Amino acid sequence: MEKHVVVIFPHPDDEAFGAAGTIAKFRQEGVPVTYLCGTLGEMGRNMGNPTFATRESLPEIRKKELQDACKAMDVELQMLGYRDKVLEFEDLSKVSDHLKGLLEQLKPTLVITHYPEYAVHPDHNALGAAAIDAVSRMEESARPTVWAQAFMRGYQEILGKPDVVQDIRPFVKTKVKAILCHTSQAQGVLGNVTGAELTEENMEAIAMEHFKEETFYTWNFDNI
């Protein structure tokens, strides 16, 4: 059994859409979960529908949504303070050092992050790469397992089938609750993910139907 799970994603809502079912499963088993959230999603284009956020008010709104979602999933939250959309242009060796320091304090047995180059958004790819680099530089005895999430079009043709397939149907309620905490983003992102015409009324039901599993690849550190 895991002792502590650390989730490392760049945006408020990545944790909800990507891993909330898995997180809920760990929490039900009594495993502590910490979310290291890279940015506040400052450059998101979803402003609520109808629009209620502005480019300038969005960071504070998303911070509150993130805190609410973490409460709903019962996880600890640490915000890393990077800026949305420009993470890949940071000095990634510094980001990796930053993450390594945090991981050495938190001592996770499992880290969940994005699969570099297979996670669509440049911020996902950059933070995933920094996280994996950080873990790879940890003492082997203290090194957590890493589950990397890929979802680029056609990823399975290249990477093969993911070896970690979490059936999240028993936890879908918590996942949808976490997603809906991200009020400014939920409808826009759910529309993309489900391909359905969403309204405020139907989106909870469509989301409950849609999410069945979350998948990851166990990172192989022998290859580096």
Partner 1 sequence: MKPIDMNEVQEQIDAFAGKKVFIHLETTNGAYANHVNEKAYNVGAFIRNAQVTYEHGKIKGAGMAYRVGLKTENGWVYAEGLNAWEVDDKNRLLMAGHDREGRLMVSLEISETAF
Q: Does 57 bind partner 1 (CB under 8 A)?
A: yes
Q: Does 156 bind partner 1 (CB under 8 A)?
A: no
Residue 68 token pair: 């609410």
Using CB under 8 A, which of 3, 55, 94, 173 touches partner 1? Answer: 55
Q: What are phi and psi of 205, to 5 degrees?
A: -65, -40
Cβ within 8 Å of residue 68, ≥6 positions away: 181
Q: Does 201 bind partner 1 (CB under 8 A)?
A: no
Nearer to partner 1, 123 or 214 (CB): 123
User: How long, in residues, is the chain?
Assistant: 224
Rounded to a whole number of angstroms, the minimum distance from the CB of residue 52 to partner 1 is 8
d(CA 42, CA 158): 32
Q: Which stretch, 12-20, 53-61, 155-163, 168-176, contacts partner 1 (CB under 8 A)?
A: 53-61
Using CB under 8 A, which of 31, 43, 159, 164 touches partner 1? Answer: 43
Cβ within 8 Å of residue 137, ≥6 positions away: 96, 100
Q: Which stretch, 52-60, 104-112, 134-142, 208-216, contacts partner 1 (CB under 8 A)?
A: 52-60
Nearer to partner 1, 31 or 43 (CB): 43
* Residue 204, CA distances (Å) to 17, 19, 180, 212, 214 in order: 13, 17, 8, 14, 18
- Residue 129 identity: A
Binders of partner 1 in range 125-154 (CB under 8 A):
152-153
Residues in the site for partner 1, rule: CB under 8 A?
Answer: 43, 45-51, 54-57, 85, 120-123, 152-153, 187-188, 191-192
